[in-house]
Structure 1
Amino acid sequence: MGNIYHNKTAQWLAYAVFFAAIGAVPLFQDDSFLLNQLATYGVYGMLALSISLCWGFGGILNLGQGIAFGLGAYGMAMTMQMQTQTESNPIPPFMLNNSLEHLPLLWVPFQSTAAGIFLAIAVPTFFCVVFGGIMFRARVSGVFFTIMTLAMLSAFYTIILDQQAYTGGANGLSPPSALQLGSIEIDPYSPIAYWIVFVFLCASTVLAKLLTQSSFGLVTQAIRDDSERVRFLGYSVAGYETMIYTISGLIAAIAGCCWVMLVQYVSPAQLDVGFSLSMVIWAAIGGRHSLIGAMIGAFVIQGAQSYLGDTFLSTWLLLLGGFFIIVVRFLPNGLASLLEAGLGLLSSRRSSAPHGNGAGEPVAIKEEAY
């Protein structure tokens, strides 16, 4: 009997149980503040999922995931801001405070909710296509690609911070009203908002899981292990790397939209280097080779920060750093490797245990293929 951890049927069953559990939370919890907080953790889970897909399965360490997240968040914030503006007053207050007399052309498409949400997702995705295509076709990989993503993140952070008249600068954007979808207002503290995040988290996870188990995923993981050998076999390594990087960015952009829907605020802090590094830490602690492990890592770390951060204040960062060092040193594949080892040990004990066939003779145990 093989390790059930690697059994595809068992994996899908575990995912079904996991999402059934978190999807049922609003049925048993009526605390609106807690629902909003848990929905925010769902956004963090999407970000950890995107890092796991790009880094764990694609071998591409991206320290600039905040670009896709931040652009998506700003796009959604601009859409929600324009929903509160009228024909007689089309210019947001912060623009008037910066002496702008006309609505900038950049903001005009966001007067339409459908166009605004589309752009909030499409723009960061298109950026990933272009940036990833340029980098990977030039065979920029490894630590050099990581440095480039970090540089691009810093550039976007500086641009948004400096262009105060168009982005709100350090104050960010604070849409005064909740997201309006047709005649429905999405209260960020309602079960509806929670389920919206849940649906996107579930859909992103299923998409990522199907990709990793497809032929595309197998080639991508082969590129992660030995890109030159895959290139010699005739595959377009740059094409596969660009695709997995873009899909990862798409998930992060959707997470950015959900974030603003929940908190009604965005600032350059969402493009800060520290936040993007946190995404990598979540995935590393949970297990970057496990989609669900990375998500659980985000839940655990952010949950601990919410409840322990007020107690330990700045000391919390030292605790997190120490925990991260311990995991990297003794569990390089994250906390998910503990489950893998435990199930492997259980499977080996079952395989070595004698089984009778009714005549006192042992029977052969056939290992299930997966």
Structure 2
Amino acid sequence: MNLYHNVKAQWLAYLVFYLVLAAVPLLIDDNFLLNQLSTYGVFGMLALSISLCWGFGGILNLGQGIPFGLGAYGMAMTMQMQSQDASNPMPPFMLNNSLEHLPLLWQPFTNTGVGIVLALAVPTLFCLVFGGLMFRARVSGPFFAIMTLAMLSAWGTLILDIQPYTNGVNGITPPTPLRLGEFTLDPYSPAAYWTVLALLVIATIVAKLMTLSRFGLVIQSIRNDAERVRFLGYSVAGYETAIYTISGFFAAVAGCLWVTLTQYVSPAQFDTTFSLSMVIWAGIGGRMSLLGAILGAFLIQGAQSYLGDTFLNTWLLILGGFFILVVRFLPKGLIGLVEMALGRLGRNRRNGGGDSVPAGQMLPQPGE
């Protein structure tokens, strides 16, 4: 048996991976680098959400920036209102746009708890409604991908157009870090890094358990043959809506964490290039592997941070070419190399180096 498909080995790989990441703040003393690594954790959560939706659900989502951006704006509004007081309740950019009263849209965010709940609930509700409408109409495949891309552009345009409420292209820059009661979360501190890591661990565990459950097996069956699953009596639209909504919730959490770390949000979070990058992370790392997708995000964003300034716009061509090569020759992404290596090792141990493939070896394996 290929050790790659052994569930206990998979859990062990997750454990080792996250223990190594948890030790990072103990090994480096550069606060800027620690903040940068924390943002990689945010990108890893986005790649995880794409892996759930596209890899396991077979739903190519080119608009994952929508829940990410909505969550980011909700958290930015919450943090901005924390810096305002009763005598000066309006953010400066609203005064510059000739507003005289705090808009009704902003008033719930004066309460930190309500603001955080709304930052997570609004994008999740949007995914639930939008996904329900699309999947009940049996919009799927490239048509669904195009619809998500169009909706992403619509949201970006809306954020720009309502400048008095969102500060338009300049975005929102909360002047102070997030405060939770008496605790202030310094975005350059180990506490911020471990917070991001803890939420990424929770998201990974939830996603992993989901893929191993009956729900996960039905989702993967829909990915392989939706019509057959529909004929068996399952609500395909319901399952597709569920996995799309859960994926959107994880993206919303990532958006909240992004603003917490950067203290900034702008319409760039709704840029199509950013959403396409999420798909590239998952595709290169391995969209059918949760860990592979996360590693893909770390690898690509790390390379961009250190090579992007050198190659400038050429970096996008390099990344696109690399993505094409991986899709063409490694359909399961870079993590597929690990699967092939472990599979060859297992066969060599079992039959003394024979190349025969055991029966069932090529069948889909759940919860990779």
TM-score, normalised to structure 1's length? 0.95
Match of 1:103 in 2: 102
Q: Which string of whole-angstrom CA distances, capped at 9 and with x for unpartnered residues, describes residues 135-158 of structure 1? A: 111111111111111111010000
Q: Which string of whole-angstrom CA distances, capped at 9 and with x for unpartnered residues, describes residues 186-205 of structure 1? A: 10000010011001100000
Work out the CA distance in 1 between the residues paired with 2:28 and 2:241: 41
Match of 1:163 in 2: 162
Work out the CA distance in 2 between the residues paired with 1:181 and 1:56: 35
Query: Following TM superposition, by how much is the alpha carbon of 1:241 offset from its aligned partner in structure 2, in angstroms?
Result: 0.4
Structure 2, unaligned stretches of length 5 or more? 354-360
Query: Following TM superposition, by how much is the alpha carbon of 1:30 offset from its aligned partner in structure 2, in angstroms?
Result: 2.0
Match of 1:251 in 2: 250
Match of 1:185 in 2: 184
Query: Following TM superposition, by how much is the alpha carbon of 1:334 offset from its aligned partner in structure 2, in angstroms?
Result: 0.6
| Partner SS state of residue 106, structure 1 | coil
Match of 2:301 in 1: 302
Q: Which string of whole-angstrom CA distances, capped at 9 and with x for unpartnered residues, describes residues 291-329 of structure 1? A: 000000000000000001111112211211111111111
Work out the CA distance in 1 between the residues paired with 2:345 and 2:115: 52
Work out the CA distance in 2 between the residues paired with 1:353 and 1:140: 50
Work out the CA distance in 2 between the residues paired with 1:188 and 1:159: 29
2:26 counterpart of 1:27:
yes
2:269 counterpart of 1:270:
yes
Work out the CA distance in 1 between the residues paired with 2:303 and 2:257: 22
Q: 1:24-173 alignment to 2 at 5 Å?
A: 24-173=23-172
Match of 2:10 in 1: 11
Work out the CA distance in 2 between the residues paired with 1:237 and 1:311: 47
Match of 2:319 in 1: 320
State percent identity of aligned pairs.
Answer: 72
| Partner SS state of residue 152, structure 1 | helix
Letter in 1 for 2:151: M
Work out the CA distance in 1 between the residues paired with 2:300 and 2:173: 27
Structure 1, unaligned stretches of length 5 or more? 355-366
Q: Which moved more, 1:310-319 or 1:85-94?
A: 310-319
Letter in 1 for 2:340: A
Query: Following TM superposition, by how much is the alpha carbon of 1:13 offset from its aligned partner in structure 2, in angstroms?
Result: 0.4
Match of 1:358 in 2: none
Q: Which string of whole-angstrom CA distances, capped at 9 and with x for unpartnered residues, describes residues 103-138 of structure 1? A: 000000000000000000000000011111111111
Work out the CA distance in 2 between the residues paired with 1:93 and 1:289: 46
Work out the CA distance in 1 between the residues paired with 2:344 and 2:133: 45
| Partner SS state of residue 173, structure 1 | coil
| Partner SS state of residue 184, structure 2 | strand
Match of 2:285 in 1: 286
The number of aligned residues is 356
Work out the CA distance in 2 between the residues paired with 1:11 and 1:159: 43
Match of 1:214 in 2: 213
Match of 1:364 in 2: none
Q: Which moved more, 1:215-224 or 1:319-328?
A: 319-328
Match of 2:346 in 1: 347
| Partner SS state of residue 328, structure 2 | helix
RMSD value, Cα: 1.2
Match of 1:357 in 2: none
Work out the CA distance in 2 between the residues paired with 1:314 and 1:105: 42
Work out the CA distance in 2 between the residues paired with 1:319 and 1:145: 28
Letter in 2 for 1:227: A
Work out the CA distance in 2 between the residues paired with 1:243 and 1:76: 24
Letter in 1 for 2:351: S
Q: Which string of whole-angstrom CA distances, capped at 9 and with x for unpartnered residues, describes residues 184-223 of structure 1? A: 1110000010011001100000000000000000000000
| Partner SS state of residue 172, structure 2 | coil
Q: Which string of whole-angstrom CA distances, capped at 9 and with x for unpartnered residues, describes residues 221-251 of structure 1? A: 0000000000000111111001000000000
Match of 2:356 in 1: none
Work out the CA distance in 2 between the residues paired with 1:18 and 1:109: 39
Runs (4+) of structure 1 moved beyond 3 Å?
A: none
Work out the CA distance in 1 between the residues paired with 2:102 and 2:350: 70
Work out the CA distance in 2 between the residues paired with 1:116 and 1:23: 29
Letter in 1 for 2:311: F
Letter in 2 for 1:271: F
Work out the CA distance in 1 between the residues paired with 2:63 and 2:306: 27
Work out the CA distance in 2 between the residues paired with 1:309 and 1:129: 36
Larger Rg belongs to: 1
| Partner SS state of residue 105, structure 1 | coil
Work out the CA distance in 2 between the residues paired with 1:309 and 1:153: 25
